A = this chain, B = another copy of it.
Amino acid sequence: MTESAGLLWGLGEQGRPALTVQRIAAAGIGLADEAGLAAVSMQQVAGRLDVTKMALYRHVVNKAELLAVMIEIAVGAPPELTADGWRAKLTQWALLMRETWQRHPWLPEATVGSRAMGPREIGWTEAAVAALGGTGLTGAQRMDAVFLLSGHIRNTQATSGTQPWTRDKRLNEQIAAHGDRFPALVAATDDAADADPDSSWEFGLARIFDGLELLIQA
């Protein structure tokens, strides 16, 4: 009685809404969205919740687990692919995944290496592999195709996977400065000067799909 009365009365000005894994992960995601993955330290996350860093260790066993929960929450529920045909389905899938990764630019960086994957993350892979269902590809080929595609998505995500020499100012300067040593690069970059900055994404996607189509038709 007394305690439930206390809870009721306390509800209004409840200063501390009780620490949960969800709230901790949300704080970490917010931090990563704003300041990058490197800014996610136990103290920063704790500070954002007005709590000592050690309090977090009551809810996550270590930083890796916090990261895992952050990823699982940030990727969100896997999509339903409504388009017709594997190519349209995979295009839809790639765009959705790209959107998600653009909303959380630290995701590519955080999802490298061997680690525990949550059900939502696996669900995304499931959706892509399922899209290749009626194509006649073997299981290994379907897995490899999804791997190839998602690798490309990761690589064209600016924050982490990207090769710096696509639109890198410093690189272009260096190429120009030592043009005699890199004639092919000078020619290519001159020609590419006013190209769509998103071209690598669409270019790669088209090549991959064309290559897959050739295999499927054979």
Q: Which A residues fall within an 8 A CB radius of B? A: 112-117, 119, 122-123, 125-126, 129-130, 133, 138-145, 147-148, 150-152, 154-156, 160-166, 168, 170-171, 174-175, 178, 181-185, 187-192, 195, 199-200, 203-204, 206-212, 214-215
Q: Known interface pairs A126-B184, A164-B114, A200-B148. Does A189 touch B143 (Cβ–Cβ under 8 Å)? A: yes
Residues of chain B lying within 8 A (CB to CB) of residue A200: 143-144, 147-148
In the assembled complex, the Cα of A112 lies from the Cα of B161 at a distance in Å of: 6
Query: Shortest CB–CB separation between residue A129 and chain B, in angstroms?
Result: 4
Residues of chain B lying within 8 A (CB to CB) of residue A112: 160-162
- Copies of this chain in its oligomeric complex: 2
In the assembled complex, the Cα of A185 lies from the Cα of B211 at a distance in Å of: 22
Residues of chain B lying within 8 A (CB to CB) of residue A122: 165, 171, 174-175, 182, 185
Q: Is B150 touching A163 in the complex (CB atoms < 8 A)?
A: yes
**Which 6 pairs across A and B sit closest by C-beta, in order of nearness?**
A139-B191, A207-B211, A151-B155, A130-B184, A140-B192, A211-B211
